Amino acid sequence: MTLRRIAKIFKSRPTIEGAGVHLKRAFGYSQVPQFDPFLMLDDFHADDPDKYLPGFPWHPHRGMETITYILEGRVEHGDSMGNSGVIGAGDVQWMTAGSGIIHQEMPRESPTGTMWGFQFWANLPASHKMIAPRYREVKAAEIPEVSTAQGVQVKVVAGEVAGVKGPVGDITIEPEMLDITVSAGTVFTHALPAGHTAFAYILDGEGYFDDRRDAYAYEIAGHGWTDLERRCVCQHETVVLFEHAGDTVQVTTTDQPVRFLFVSGKPLKEPVAWYGPIVMNTQEELRVAFEEYKLGTFIK
């Protein structure tokens, strides 16, 4: 067992997307290709309906996948393939845009008043960018949960933990997506394929994601030399990007529990040409995509 250590830490930043949705971007365009094959992670968490109800009206996608995971609230979905539905707390929507899809994602007023969810963008390899679009809706009841005697709970969306497989499979980047809660005073270890990109996004609490516990052993994005205080314990709304070397991730808690999303996948190591909702390999492919959208020939 060789432990992976922290390569870099990012703090999510406020932004506004869609028709006026207030969210926090954990990583995105400016971090390509550090998270390869993942392109973006947005955290939309708001108690004010005015900050999430504007939603994401009809827009196109091509060449990538969108993965939406809801913790609280409801989001209505519709697309050019005729799919429609509502996902709520604990549900996942995994959409492969492939050759092209037009869809909308419109949050509805949450029963609790709070909307909290996440959207990941994952890249597709050149060989799959123009495959037929595919839509999957996975309800919370379909997502298995693994509990250990050491005080760890894992919801397995994609990947495998303790012999339990998640409902999402057959994805080219071999993704792993886990919602993990580690109780206080616990050490959690998790093996993953060598060379796969891996990161954690912390939802609540705090924990140590590097056995060295040395805040000066890695870079913290946006942290200037004038910021003299650095902490080696990682807290909410923080992205921990792990080094590629090693086959095991270790998370340690002390007097507080920690809850985080753990995501990993096989890097594509391909050029990325990305503008707005379209992600291709070349600028010419981007030009063709937007020209087809303008001409009405985008949907194949």
**What is the number of alpha carbons within 13 Å of residue 234 lying toward its C-beta?**
32
pLDDT along the chain (300 residues), means of 10: 95 96 97 98 96 97 98 96 94 97 96 94 98 95 93 96 92 95 96 96 97 88 65 92 97 97 98 98 98 97
Q: What is the pLDDT of residue 227?
A: 60
Q: What is the pLDDT of residue 226?
A: 57
Tokens 């807290």, located at residue: 235
* Helix (H) or strand (E) segment spanning residue 295: helix 283-295
Q: What is the pLDDT of residue 239?
A: 97
DSSP 120: E
Domains and CATH numbers, the chain: 6-295 (2.60.120.10)
Say how many C-beta atoms besides its own lie within 10 A of residue 255's C-beta.
7
Q: What is the pLDDT of residue 224?
A: 57
Q: What is the pTM of this model?
A: 0.95
Contact (Cβ atoms closer than 8 angstroms) between residue 131 and residue 142:
no
Rounded Cα–Cα distance for residues 182 and 134 (Å) = 34
Rounded Cα–Cα distance for residues 98 and 67 (Å) = 14
Q: What is the pLDDT of residue 195?
A: 94
Rounded Cα–Cα distance for residues 106 and 74 (Å) = 9
Q: What is the pLDDT of residue 225?
A: 59
Rounded Cα–Cα distance for residues 94 and 236 (Å) = 25
Contact (Cβ atoms closer than 8 angstroms) between residue 117 and residue 41:
no
Residue 129 β-bridge partners: none
Write the burial class of residue 291 (CB in 10 Å: 0-12 exposed, 13-18 middle, 19+ buried): exposed
Q: Which three-class secondary structure state does DSSP give residue 129?
A: coil
